[in-house]
Structure 1
Amino acid sequence: MILFKKKPWKLVTITSTLIFIIFVVLVMASIIIQISNYKFDKSQAKRNEYIISTSLLNSGLSFEVAKGDINGIESIINDYLSYKEIHAIEVRKLTREVIYRKQKTINKELRIVAKTYSLLSQYDEISIDGLDKVENKEVKTIAKVVITFSSNYMNKKITQQALFTGGLLFIAVMITIFFLYLFNRYIYKYLNNIINTMNSIKQGDNITLKNKGIYRVEELNAIYRSLQELSETIYKRDAQLKDSLNQAMEAKILAQEAEQFKEDFIRAISHDIKTPVGVIINLISMIVEQSDTIKDNPSLSEKVNACYESSIVLKEIMTELFNFEEFEQQKLIENKTKVNLNEIFSQIKSLYETKFSEKGLGFSVYKGSQQTTQLLYYINIDKGKLLLVLENLLDNALKFTESGAISITWIVKKDSLLIQIKDSGIGIPEDKYKVIFNKHIQLNNISTSTHQGRGLGLFYVKRIIDLLGAEITLSSKVDIGSVFKINIPITSTMSTNTENTLLLTEELSKSNFKALIIDDDQHTCFTLTEMLNKYGIETASENIPEIGLSQMTKESFDLAFIDFHMPNLSGDVIMKKLTSTLPKNTTFYVCITAESSPYHLEKLDTLFHEVLEKPFDITDLQAVLQKALKSKRVTNEVINNIKGKS
């Protein structure tokens, strides 16, 4: 407890207040006890008075008086004076002559009460309570006994003391109530300040508490000091938290900017890389296919094939990089097209046969018994995703197989495409089956310099399998090999060779297809022109988008290939202008783009009839040409119907 040099009487504490209240309660309790004793003494005095009176009447005093025996009278009176309530006794004859008198003290200020009792000559015995009396006709009074009682005086003294104490108690209670009222207002005022202070602290304000008046209550003073310390601590931590949040927000903004920069960079580099890679692959493919010189020159043929295979490897690495970015951003979407399974697995075989052969491994592709070589089997599936799954599984098998063979078996059963890839590699422990599909995972027993990799192949496979709504299972034994089984839900149709390349070329030639290419990259224009000429399509190209747009408005084309990323005038802007300028144009518009994000592809689908992603090959182009041919058939049928009705 803190003591102050000035005005110590103002020092009030909760403890002292409680002590004061306890003192008042004790005083009230003592007064209540005194009042109870007073009432008890008063009732007891009345009781004793009645007992004395009855005893007197039943005593032998009347006989002593009748005989005139003063000694006997004195003896009896002395016995009665032993009662504290009796102050004096005197015996008188009927002539009022005092026979005997005796009192305890002489005090003139003593206020006494005298009562006179008649002594009878004869008196039958009566009960103690004086209720049962027996009549006697010969009874007569022979003397009077006057007893002076002092009990009323004592009662008055007690009454005065009780009234005085009660008055003091009333005053003390009123003072206590007033004190509690003031104390309550005092406490409420500062408790309310404490509540407001806590609310301010909750809102994060820096509180400076004033101690004026608080020193009177030490406990409140301690609370205020604690609140002051709490406020300062919270304010400091709040300031630190705000600084941390600001730093986190700045870091988040920087991260978002970095992420946006990365996306923009990848988008730009995707276009810059995919365009020349597509040109290289397609040109080398056409050179190998069309040049008899290369076929007759083994040395030159080997060099050209090495260039082609290197370009394919570059394409795979590039695809892996851009797919990983899509996986990271969870922007993958399924883009189903009509795909020839025979061509897909033939492409896989030609792509990997040399790779496995160079490593001394056998490689084979088997078809189920339902398929024959005379049938082309078409399914609706995302071709790019299916190829990515097969290529990653085969790359994984090639990487971890040192001897033996790798085989692919595929079959279509009802609405499912079943694929099995089997190798004789180092195998995978059973307890690692689940984690093997995680990102950047390579098992400890295979993570050596002999088997280096990015650890993304099976991660890609699992993500794509989930996207396609398919299932993949693994069975493997260490040092024996692994078997991956894939079950992909599909919709499929069997078709004869009427839709092969030769018939497609013939039909396109009969339809007199005319195409325009608008692309700022002249190599893409040249490569695509050569590929279209293979199908007998008359093709024009333009490297300046403004001139290409003007050419579209002046001439009629059945097919238009428009690059999306071009300086000054992008592909989507060209399409919007063509739509507004030529609303009834029947041209089949194809967008050439290197960006494959879902948002971008969805945007292109609303503007173009078809999208051709770079780097594309002859199979991709053939699928686009088939759709364009089908669209022209439908358009011609509608026009003929209209002409027939008119």
Structure 2
Amino acid sequence: MGSENEIYIRGNADLFFTAFDNSPVLMLITGLDGKIFAANKLFLEFTGYSLEEILGKTTIEVGFYINPNQRQLLLKEILEKGNIHAMELDFRIKDGSIRNFLVSSNIIRINSEQRLFTSLVDITERKKIEIQLSENEAKYKYLFMNYPQPMWIYDTDSLTFLEVNNATIEKYGYSREELVGSSISMIRPEEDFDKVIEHHKIPHDKFYNAGVWGHKKKNGEIIFVEILSHALPEIYPAGRIIIAHEVTEMVKAKEEAEKMNKLKSNFLANMSYELRTPLNGILGFSEFLKDNTNEEETRNIAEIIHNGGQRLLSTLNQILDLSSLEAKIYEVKKELTNLNKIVKNSYDSFRYEAEKSGLSFNLNLPENEIIINTDAEIISNVLENLIDNAIKYTPEGFIEISLINKETLAIIKIKDSGIGISNDKLEVIFDEFRQASEGRGRSFEGTGLGLSLCRKFINLLGGRIYVKSNVGEGSNFTVELPLISDVKEITKQIETEKDTSTVVSGIQSDKKLRILFVEDDQDSQELVKIICRDKYLLDVVNDGNQAIIKAKQINYDIILMDINLGLGIDGLEATKIIRKLKQYKNVPIVAITAFAMEGDKEEFLENGCSHYLSKPFTIKSLKKLLDSIFINQNNTN
């Protein structure tokens, strides 16, 4: 009897060899000395040998073993253990290639002779994949560890570090041993950790930008990092890999820029207020003197003062407009607008000045009205700038303004016979603070902002502005604006305007409205007294508290409210208190103020004021506003 590990082949040996020969596994029977007694079909087919080539030869003689000592070691283990199972061995086949096998071998007895019964499973391709995976793993681990930005893998359930790269260690000052297995709170400021927990309660995409977070280094220094996060479901079901890009300098630069922008805004707001308040008196009284004196010298002086004030106001408005556009806070207010009226009004406002300069001043309007959806105030300002330039740069000859309807565009042309512009300056003039004539020898005054603002504003409206010109041949500025095609809406708008104009022209009344003017600036007080003395009953108070007392004593028809009233409550607070009085629920309260930055008007209208008039205002603009309020009150009554 052999050892208990020996397998005996008894009974029908033919049946055994039939199964042996047709096995789906490579099989070989040898003697203990390695001599080959049998090989199945798959073995012969795989190794490339015929049975005749190997039968009776040892496995070493055939050349299966790369190193003959391998067989001695294999036999020794079989004799000691009785068998081997799934041992990895490399064999050479007939074509000389080396293949990897899992080898299992038992001692069997055939006709009382000990034989080695060996089965082989080819794992060559699997080994290649394993090697490739191992190499890839090593490569990716190398890339992870040596990536120049901090990277780590963490568990989203426990919020602990699973692995960190070298850059993380270097950036945060902790060792790998300190971080791995520890909570990610180690690198978070205490005040932020609740936000971190809340952040992880929200489902996130496989890959997402988690935004900018404050992180704490081991030395206590706070840095800011932008976090990119990627899930790792195939490796760690609850794991995510993080890339942290430091943006501390960017955050500080942004904070500094915001701080500077706030300072700039405050400076512009203060400058605007401090200039508009005295300009209110300068422009108002000079306008009054121009219109109410018979002395030519006095009228000329008043006009010089008025023109100087207007120039200063224009410069201020241009600077503020540029600031609003740069900050992207300028609000476009589009509505159905009759371009014929806008162009005609612009023409009329410059007609006297053009004819006074000896220019032929012509207007060409189409028979049919052109209605577009646009910001009427912007269009008016752009036309004012273009016509003003045309008069300024045309010493003699003509200026022609035309409005044209062309397919999908409304086109406004301002053509002149002026000094013209050289080809190399046609784009320069649209740059900020640039003019065709520059330096100490420049021929004309101005900030160089007008045309730059015109282009920016027209672009905001979805249009474009350009110029064709030659030196000495005049200039032709063209503004193109998109048309609309809703005929019903246009018709409705036109009919509404006609109805309104009919109502306005038909109202007559001898009633004098009672007005309360709340203003701490004496020049403005005197100006409004002059404007209102013939048509309205006017009471003037200096501060918000007096305004509230007066409002309780007398039922005013209109309140003109300055916003900045010096000491005590401001005009906005006074307005809110007055609005709570039953009799002032629907009374017009006009914000008359030097606060004219973008958003100021909206703030005042949202907090109780019904109308807004910015300083400096003209006599005509205040009269027009009061008349419109008077008409509305008569319509209501």
Deviation at 1:635, TM superposition (A): 2.6
Say whether the 8 Å CA contact 1:591–1:608 is kept in structure 2: yes
2:362 to 361, 366, 381: 366
Deviation at 1:563, TM superposition (A): 0.8
Aligned pairs for 1:475-554 (under 5 A) are 475-486=468-479, 507=508, 510-534=510-534, 536-554=535-553
Q: Deviations over 1:460-518 (max 9, x none)?
A: 11222244555545333454222113356696657999999xx89x946x132111110
Looking at structure 2, the residues matched to 583 and 519 of structure 1 have their Cα atoms a distance apart, in angstroms, of: 22
Question: Alpha carbon RMSD of aligned pairs, Å?
Answer: 5.1
Looking at structure 1, the residues matched to 322 and 629 of structure 2 have their Cα atoms a distance apart, in angstroms, of: 32
State the AA in 1 paired with 2:550. Q
Which residue of structure 2 aligns with residue 390 of structure 1?
383
Deviation at 1:301, TM superposition (A): 3.5
Which residue of structure 1 aligns with residue 75 of structure 2?
166
Deviation at 1:547, TM superposition (A): 0.5
Residue 617 of structure 1 pairs with residue 618 of structure 2: yes
Q: 1:369 to 1:428 in 2, by over 3 A?
A: closer
Deviation at 1:524, TM superposition (A): 1.0
TM-score, normalising length: structure 2? 0.56
State the AA in 2 paired with 1:201. N
Task: Choose between structure 1 and 2: higher helix proportion.
Answer: 1
Q: Deviations over 1:285-305 (max 9, x none)?
A: 11121122x23xx4x443332
Q: 1:440 to 1:308 in 2, by over 3 A?
A: closer
2:271 to 247, 269, 279: 269
Q: Deviations over 1:180-222 (max 9, x none)?
A: 9xxx9xx9xx999989899312782346479xxxxxxxxxxxx
Looking at structure 2, the residues matched to 427 and 441 of structure 1 have their Cα atoms a distance apart, in angstroms, of: 16
For structure 1, which runs of at least 5 residues remain unmatched after alignment?
Answer: 1-29, 41-161, 211-233, 372-376, 637-646
1:200 to 146, 164, 181: 164
SS in 1 for 2:413: strand
- Range 195-204 or range 258-267, more displaced: 195-204
Aligned pairs for 1:415-430 (under 5 A) are 419-425=412-418, 427-428=420-421
Q: 1:290 to 1:571 in 2, by over 3 A?
A: same
Looking at structure 2, the residues matched to 313 and 495 of structure 1 have their Cα atoms a distance apart, in angstroms, of: 38
State the AA in 2 paired with 1:539. L
Say whether the 8 Å CA contact 1:595–1:613 is kept in structure 2: yes
Looking at structure 1, the residues matched to 371 and 518 of structure 2 have their Cα atoms a distance apart, in angstroms, of: 31
Say whether the 8 Å CA contact 1:378–1:495 is kept in structure 2: no
Which residue of structure 1 aligns with residue 231 of structure 2?
none
Deviation at 1:277, TM superposition (A): 0.7
Which residue of structure 2 aligns with residue 562 of structure 1?
561
Deviation at 1:583, TM superposition (A): 5.8
Q: Deviations over 1:296-350 (max 9, x none)?
A: xx4x443332222211211211221222222222222345799886554333234
Looking at structure 1, the residues matched to 412 and 285 of structure 2 have their Cα atoms a distance apart, in angstroms, of: 32
Q: Deviations over 1:54-81 (max 9, x none)?
A: xxxxxxxxxxxxxxxxxxxxxxxxxxxx
Residue 407 of structure 1 pairs with residue 399 of structure 2: yes
Which residue of structure 2 aligns with residue 345 of structure 1?
347
Say whether the 8 Å CA contact 1:561–1:590 is kept in structure 2: yes
Deviation at 1:628, TM superposition (A): 0.5
Which residue of structure 2 aligns with residue 216 of structure 1?
none
For structure 2, which runs of at least 5 residues remain unmatched after alignment?
Answer: 1-27, 39-70, 90-101, 103-129, 146-151, 154-160, 178-216, 226-244, 484-489
Deviation at 1:441, TM superposition (A): 5.2
Which residue of structure 1 aligns with residue 22 of structure 2?
none
SS in 2 for 1:587: coil
Deviation at 1:378, TM superposition (A): 13
Deviation at 1:566, TM superposition (A): 2.0
- Range 319-328 or range 617-626, more displaced: 617-626
Q: 1:366 to 1:479 in 2, by over 3 A?
A: closer
Residue 465 of structure 1 pairs with residue 458 of structure 2: yes
State the AA in 2 paired with 1:266. L
Say whether the 8 Å CA contact 2:525–2:540 is kept in structure 1: yes
SS in 1 for 2:264: helix
Q: Deviations over 1:562-620 (max 9, x none)?
A: 01222222222112111212365442211112233443222222322211111211332
Say whether the 8 Å CA contact 1:417–1:487 is kept in structure 2: yes
Looking at structure 2, the residues matched to 310 and 433 of structure 1 have their Cα atoms a distance apart, in angstroms, of: 29
Which residue of structure 2 aligns with residue 109 of structure 1?
none
Q: 1:163 to 1:391 in 2, by over 3 A?
A: closer
Looking at structure 2, the residues matched to 515 and 416 of structure 1 have their Cα atoms a distance apart, in angstroms, of: 46
TM-score, normalising length: structure 1? 0.55
Say whether the 8 Å CA contact 2:405–2:411 is kept in structure 1: yes
Say whether the 8 Å CA contact 2:555–2:583 is kept in structure 1: no
Say whether the 8 Å CA contact 2:400–2:416 is kept in structure 1: no
Q: Deviations over 1:196-255 (max 9, x none)?
A: 899312782346479xxxxxxxxxxxxxxxxxxxxxxx999x999879743443332232
Which residue of structure 2 aligns with residue 111 of structure 1?
none
State the AA in 2 paired with 1:323. D
Say whether the 8 Å CA contact 1:31–1:166 is kept in structure 2: no
SS in 2 for 1:204: helix
SS in 2 for 1:422: strand
Tell me how many residue pairs correspond in the alignment: 436
Which residue of structure 1 aligns with residue 300 of structure 2?
302
State the AA in 2 paired with 1:614. K
1:246 to 242, 245, 248: 248
Looking at structure 2, the residues matched to 468 and 481 of structure 1 have their Cα atoms a distance apart, in angstroms, of: 27
Looking at structure 1, the residues matched to 564 and 593 of structure 2 have their Cα atoms a distance apart, in angstroms, of: 7
Which residue of structure 2 aligns with residue 575 of structure 1?
575
Which residue of structure 1 aligns with residue 65 of structure 2?
none
Q: 1:466 to 1:204 in 2, by over 3 A?
A: same
Say whether the 8 Å CA contact 1:406–1:421 is kept in structure 2: no
State the AA in 1 paired with 2:577. K
Looking at structure 2, the residues matched to 404 and 611 of structure 1 have their Cα atoms a distance apart, in angstroms, of: 40
Q: 1:422 to 1:530 in 2, by over 3 A?
A: same
Say whether the 8 Å CA contact 1:436–1:458 is kept in structure 2: yes
Q: Percent identity?
A: 20
Aligned pairs for 1:170-319 (under 5 A) are 199-201=163-165, 204-205=168-169, 206=173, 208=175, 245-292=247-294, 294-295=295-296, 298=297, 300-319=298-317
